[in-house]
Amino acid sequence: MTAVEFLSEQIRLTNIEGLRFKLLDAIEQAKEMEKEQHNVSFNKGYDRRNYIHDFEYGGVEYWEEEPKEFEQYYNETYGGDK
């Protein structure tokens, strides 16, 4: 679930009583989720770049598998376009 999907679900489930505080909390949670998602994506991209470098200059045999391209990673992790 992406941070935006999480926030959307929290808004959908929220009733009018306590709405402001629940939404502010959900926004903070979504920000933390987004930060972690960006961190993971950054690291996956870094791995992909290193794999391509090793592929071009030797050393690819040390990789257990080829890191996924972004679209494949995103679709498998977050379910693609919703």
Q: Which residues contact 80 (CB under 8 A, 6 or more apart)?
A: 74
Is pLDDT at 82 greater than 60 in this prediction?
A: no
Number of domains in the chain: 1
List the one residue out of 63, 3, 73 whose CA is nearest residue 31. Answer: 3
What domain range is 7 assigned to?
3-78
User: pLDDT digit string (tens) for 11-67?
Assistant: 878 777 778 788 888 888 988 999 999 999 999 999 999 999 999 999 899 999 999
pLDDT band at 81 (very low <50, low <70, confident <90, very high): low
pLDDT on residue 42: 95
CA angle 29-67-72, nearest 5°?
65
List the one residue out of 37, 50, 45, 49 whose CA is nearest residue 71. Answer: 45
How many angstroms separate the CA atoms of 73 and 69, rounded?
A: 6
